Chain A
């Protein structure tokens, strides 16, 4: 599978993404988004929003994750985490948004990292996909 931001991925000194750590994903996924549904950053990976932040990531594998999208496999877990982040750092809403959006993903949309205990995973979008149109705003949390 060819992934989005291929030219950036090639510049990294490690294999990105690491295919053996990824799996196809099928089902509902949830993402933190801005209230404005057309916000340019809603479905951009962190390193495409702020390329300079690449220096914040020490290891190459982490830089690679920065070109993936943070998603959750469970709405309640996504909502809980966004509320926690925004209660902890109120102005993070300008970066992450203050809403949770829901979308239906198919294996052709890309591949997902292992889902952690919080329901979080990193999704590397395929070059042909445009998952943005598959997502709709579900809830404004704060």
Chain B
């Protein structure tokens, strides 16, 4: 059966625009299968064998950043990442005849490669397959990269913030899949990450600055128009620019508020709270310590942010810098870390018990099970059971009259469950026109109807 080389979509060129010299082999089995070359500017290129027919061998030639080569050789990057992150996203597909002459040359992008040309996405460098490895390391001076942390390609956030003298947030997104590459990102992934990060900062802003929200509902003053929107604005971010190196997004606060007696800006307070959550949530004990300072909606938005990272199979280096007071905050959320945090969040237990006085009407009454549904003037609905003391009076209530009621609300989140369960118990109930004196003790239920 005649074997034909796979069809590649790309631009055919007649002459290679670069001249390269062999430095060493990364995979050598009965001959070279993956080799490192250099051009006259000492840029690194990989020549990867992919296919053959009766007369030709097909190779992929692509330029890679030296740090990528170092990451691959020192086990931090995979072969799949190398092929999917060539410089300028260009790959030369070379068909060489038996004498090694190039018969065909097509330029394409990594996305144009057939799946049969791609290595499995977990395969890292295997030193025993290499030849002249020391030459490769020395020629490209890769040994200096050994001691540099894995986030060496992450930008110096303070240096970036100094350029504009503004607070800056950097989300540096990496992935071992094709969703994120050098200077490119799947728009759905970027959208999910930015939107869920924004939700998290908004909920954090509400948790920090919505002081009225913490008051019992009956004591809460009527909200002025746009009050919550204004608080959320403090968490608003705008896209400033993106830079290539995986995919790095820079954001800056849209507006901020500074308290006269407090050196921290509102955006720094929000960032500090968010980064405190990143740090604490890696340990169930630390998460338990700060849970009283977290709102449920903040935790829900954090949960969603993490789920998006997990779903998209990405890692994010998050950084914040304030050039004025030199504050820098950093954290990294890798897929493994995200899974651990999500598990910690699911184990987090909450209990919130309070009593609330409301005015409104019953919308459902069940005299056999002593259950009720009560709708307040603000359209909040409470449903639950009457306390044992009130049960003998249930027959006297109706859906027509207006009542002032005292309800015990018991909110709890059990370990392993994602939702909060709420148990409402009606403790007192008075028909509106027959209200008892204001200072009537609430411990003893009394029916005046």
Instruction: Please give, as numbers and ranges, the residues of chain A lying within 8 Å of B117 by CB-CB distance.
Output: 90-91
Instruction: Please give, as numbers and ranges, the residues of chain A lying within 8 Å of B51 by CB-CB distance.
Output: 91, 94
Is A118 among interface residues, defined by CB-CB distance under 8 A? yes
Instruction: Please give, as numbers and ranges, the residues of chain A lying within 8 Å of B98 by CB-CB distance.
Output: 50-53
Is A98 among interface residues, defined by CB-CB distance under 8 A? no
Of B29, B33, B100, B123, which one neighbours A55 at CB under 8 angstroms? B100
Q: How far is the CA of A51 from the CA of B79 in the complex (A)?
A: 29
Instruction: Please give, as numbers and ranges, the residues of chain A lying within 8 Å of B32 by CB-CB distance.
Output: 56
Is B49 among interface residues, defined by CB-CB distance under 8 A? yes
Instruction: Please give, as numbers and ranges, the residues of chain A lying within 8 Å of B79 by CB-CB distance.
Output: 88
Task: Tally B residues with Cβ within 8 Å of A.
Answer: 25
Mostly, the A contact residues are helix
Instruction: Please give, as numbers and ranges, the residues of chain A lying within 8 Å of B33 by CB-CB distance.
Output: 85, 89, 92
Q: A70-B29, A70-B30, A92-B33 are in contact. Are A87 and B119 (CB under 8 A)?
A: yes
Is B50 among interface residues, defined by CB-CB distance under 8 A? yes
List CB contacts (< 8 Å) of A16-61 with chain B: 46, 50-53, 55-58
Instruction: Please give, as numbers and ranges, the residues of chain B lying within 8 Å of A84 by CB-CB distance.
Output: 123, 126
Q: A70-B30, A90-B116 are in contact. Are A52 and B128 (CB under 8 A)?
A: no
Is B120 among interface residues, defined by CB-CB distance under 8 A? yes
List CB contacts (< 8 Å) of B2-34 with chain A: 3, 22, 27, 29-33
Cβ A88 vs Cβ B30 within 8 A: no
Instruction: Please give, as numbers and ranges, the residues of chain A lying within 8 Å of B126 by CB-CB distance.
Output: 84
Is B352 among interface residues, defined by CB-CB distance under 8 A? no
| Nearest-CB residue, chain A, relative to B99 | A52
Is A116 among interface residues, defined by CB-CB distance under 8 A? yes
Q: How far is the CA of A70 from the CA of B129 in the complex (A)?
A: 13
Is B52 among interface residues, defined by CB-CB distance under 8 A? yes
Q: How far is the CA of A118 from the CA of B97 in the complex (A)?
A: 32
Q: A52-B99, A116-B128 are in contact. Are A94 and B30 (CB under 8 A)?
A: no
Is A117 among interface residues, defined by CB-CB distance under 8 A? yes
Min Cβ gap B63→A in Å is: 20
Instruction: Please give, as numbers and ranges, the residues of chain B lying within 8 Å of A92 by CB-CB distance.
Output: 33, 49
Is A127 among interface residues, defined by CB-CB distance under 8 A? no
Cβ A46 vs Cβ B30 within 8 A: yes
Is A95 among interface residues, defined by CB-CB distance under 8 A? yes
Query: Which of B31, B97, B100 counts the most A-chain CB atoms under 10 A from its CB?
Result: B31
Cβ B120 vs Cβ A66 within 8 A: no
Cβ A95 vs Cβ B120 within 8 A: no
What are 19 A-B interface contacts by the 8 Å CB criterion? A46-B31, A50-B98, A52-B98, A53-B98, A56-B32, A70-B30, A85-B33, A87-B123, A88-B27, A88-B79, A88-B119, A88-B123, A89-B48, A89-B50, A89-B119, A90-B116, A94-B51, A116-B128, A117-B128
Chain A residues within 8 Å of B, Cβ to Cβ? 46, 50-53, 55-58, 66, 70, 84-85, 87-92, 94-96, 116-118
